[in-house]
Structure 1
Amino acid sequence: MTKKIIFNGRLLAAQGVLEQASIGMMSGKIVSPGCIAEWGDDVERIDANGLFIAPGFIDLHVHGGGGADFMDGTVDAFLQVAETHVKFGTTALSPTTLTSELADLFRILDAYSEAKKCNTKGAEFIGVHLEGPYFALNQRGAQNPAYIRNPDPEEYRKIMAYSDDIARWSAAPELPGALEFGRYVKSCGKLLALAHTDATYDEALAGFNVGYSLATHFYSAMSSVTRKDARRIAGTVEAGYLIDEMDVEVIADGVHVPAPLLKLIYKIKGPDRIALVTDAMRAAGMDVRESVLGNERTGLRVIVEDGVAKLPDRTAFAGSVATANRLVRTMMREGEVPLLDAVKMMTETPARIAGLLDRKGTLDVGKDADVVLFDADINIAMTIVNGDIRYKNKDIKI
């Protein structure tokens, strides 16, 4: 049915939690529940049974899940990832790449173009996030160093011309040519982020001034205070704090960023400038001990332990195995953040950063009917994407 009403729920709204609330959906959009009486019998009624009703979670940084990775470069892999994350409350996500050869990148962009046409069971795709290859080698983390390089105008112009599906590009602003690269990306109307960077505060500020407005996985693969000739020099982390208008994305799994830092980020930046992201790799949503980061055939072998993926020698994390509901739960429990703020960092704030707030991120009338129902422990009961029920947890009464 195209008409639905969810009733008897605890609606998360700007003014607080509304008890015994209702929300209406018609033709994939949010409508006022007050007109339900005029709809007649052709309405699907969903009793929330006291569960929370929230906007769908928006994940701006996802590599994989459910045994698939976007770097596999197949339509099936894209759909598998989308169908995995929708089970955990994600209604929209940005498929994210790793450093790679140019031919592989084009293959992934081709797969995205096809997958978005037939993605009817998973989280909606909201544009590709290119993570690399213009990174500081010293801050590569688990990125393959064989593909890390400085910005090449001929290359990045060719990439941008290849696909309109690119929504964001993450790079290190201190590299030779990175400011020119940033200006070009912004001129194309794309989101520009700094990542895997050894930038000093001054270099990060110069990047921000040309458009590097988002800090990719804040703290991870990112410079902080260093010393040179006995003098302390502020880094990218400090820039993220001091530049009020800079947004930060946080892998709030409690491992990449531990509890004291979650509290610090929230205290300084606040929910309006923080987007929670999974940075999930293919092992997300699975119970496995070993996996692969990147392409299944050529990617890096990793181990999964302590709730995170690591390189086999344990020298670096290799992406997370978190899901969106875990981020909200962790931010509340370990970051001591109120429910409304934790959810805002997974909904409204990422929607604003991605330029989608006119249609996603809140449950305002007229916006996309992306809705998630969950209990007090953020266990997902139901996920609705554009008015379509794409996941229902049989273990939670609805």
Structure 2
Amino acid sequence: MQLKIINAKVILPAGIVEGGTVLVNGGKIMDIAPHDTGVKAAETLDAGGLYLSPGFIDIHVHGGGGHDFMDNTVEAFLGIAQLHARYGTTALTPTTLSCEQDDLLTTLDTYASAHAQNTRGARFIGMHIEGPYFSMEQRGAQDPRYIRNPDPAEYRSILERYDYIKRWSAAPELEGALAFGQYLQSKNVLAAIAHTNALDTEVLTAFAQGYTHATHFYSCMSTVTRRHAFRYGGAVEAAYLLDGMTVEVIADGKHLPASLLQLIHKIKGTENIALITDAMRGAGMPEGPSILGGLKNGQPVIIEDGVAKMPDRTAFAGSVATADLLVRNMIHMAGIPLVDAVRMITATPARIMGVDRQMGSLLPGRQADLVLFDDHIRIQRTLLSGQTIFQQ
């Protein structure tokens, strides 16, 4: 099928082309021009001056629309994918929480079934296992019943069985964590530091062993501390020091204030920052009581003030953000140019996950996963391989 999109503000890596045209054939981008080329297509879509962007890529998401991936049903997987497509997401990595191994294996098995049936929502680009190898001091909303040190027999068995695990988040200071990072690297799985109480020196060592990414930067992560009167840097400072370490931020306007969003961008740069929702089941749902994690073993939380909180309101328990909100906040809260904000949820996460040759930018040969939005980053249309899967 051929599709020609005309009269769009086309967001390219080098800037915005006003009144641009994008030609799609066979689900892929064929050509981009600064004007209507006159080429005839089976379908012509007049963008009416809307922005045309690569589809948003969310590399850390747990749920939405009342579902969590750890509900372990195909219905939940597909419901989450469809909910986030309404807000511009065209690709995502389903993410787990710390749990019993049997629950994790069921989630991974469900992924395979859901992946084959997912035609009307954001595409799945591999699983992200978050936990259970975490610091108890930095567990956040992760269930302490399941937190433990890396177990080689456990993780080797899992990674040998499921080749669609593309990312695993762990605390690098734990006993056995360095060997775990090396093994992940050997399997071409992204190793990320998360829920960590590590000193900066421990993270610097871990980076050399494969831990090249920082999960929800600042959240549940060590920073400057004092021990026996001496100050030490933490994981945050190490991520700043390491030019090659990428980071992801929950730009929901709750987890990080504008000043920290600005600081992260100033030091790490657009090319090293991915915007993530870290959304739980409450994304796209009314505020009130909810559950973090699966319906069977999840933890009660409350959604209010645009974020999920622990019942005693002492800590956040996940985001209810959608991808459009992240872009909007980076522009209006942090003062980041639109092109950079879009890149942080398209090209950068695509590169981090190793799928940048398939998606993440408007270039010939890339998948025609596209989003049309207005000046307020309100999503008007989401297309997957050139086919509309959501229209306002």
TM-score of Structure 1 vs Structure 2, range by shorter chain: over 0.9
- C-alpha displacement of 1:37: 4.4
- C-alpha displacement of 1:36: 6.5
- C-alpha displacement of 1:297: 2.7
SS of 2:271's equivalent? coil
**Alignment match, 1:390:** 389
**Alignment match, 2:134:** 135
Task: Tell me if structure 2 keeps the 8 A contact 1:5–1:33.
Answer: no
**Alignment match, 2:20:** 21
Provide, for residues 295-315 of structure 1, a one-character-per-residue CA deviation record: whole Å limited to 9, x for no partner. 113201111111110000112
2 CA distance for matches of 1:275 and 1:138? 25
**Alignment match, 1:11:** 10
**Alignment match, 1:103:** 102
**Alignment match, 2:320:** 321
Paired residues for 1:206-285 under 5 Å = 206-285=205-284
SS of 1:49's equivalent? coil
**Alignment match, 2:92:** 93
Paired residues for 1:288-327 under 5 Å = 288-327=287-326
Task: Tell me if structure 1 keeps the 8 A contact 2:21–2:37.
Answer: no
Task: Tell me if structure 2 keeps the 8 A contact 1:65–1:280.
Answer: yes
**Alignment match, 1:82:** 81
- C-alpha displacement of 1:38: 4.9
Paired amino acid for 1:65 = G
Task: Tell me if structure 1 keeps the 8 A contact 2:20–2:32.
Answer: no
Paired amino acid for 1:194 = I
**Alignment match, 1:197:** 196
Paired amino acid for 1:27 = G
Task: Tell me if structure 2 keeps the 8 A contact 1:174–1:203.
Answer: yes
Over aligned residues, Cα RMSD in angstroms? 1.1
Paired amino acid for 1:69 = D
SS of 2:207's equivalent? helix
Which structure 1 residue ranges, 4+ long, deviate > 6 Å from structure 2? Answer: none
Provide, for residues 226-276 of structure 1, a one-character-per-residue CA deviation record: whole Å limited to 9, x for no partner. 001111100000011111110000000111111110010011111000000
- C-alpha displacement of 1:289: 1.4
Paired amino acid for 2:327 = V
SS of 1:116's equivalent? helix
**Structure 2 alignment gaps of length 5 or more:** none
Paired amino acid for 1:128 = M
Paired amino acid for 2:276 = V
2 CA distance for matches of 1:70 and 1:223? 28
2 CA distance for matches of 1:316 and 1:38? 55
Task: Tell me if structure 2 keeps the 8 A contact 1:129–1:167.
Answer: yes
- C-alpha displacement of 1:33: 5.2
2 CA distance for matches of 1:351 and 1:298? 32
2 CA distance for matches of 1:116 and 1:69? 15
- Equivalent pairs counted in the alignment come to 390
SS of 2:86's equivalent? helix
SS of 1:248's equivalent? strand
**Alignment match, 1:30:** 29
Provide, for residues 155-175 of structure 1, a one-character-per-residue CA deviation record: whole Å limited to 9, x for no partner. 111111121110100000000
2 CA distance for matches of 1:231 and 1:6? 60
Paired amino acid for 1:268 = I
**Alignment match, 1:159:** 158
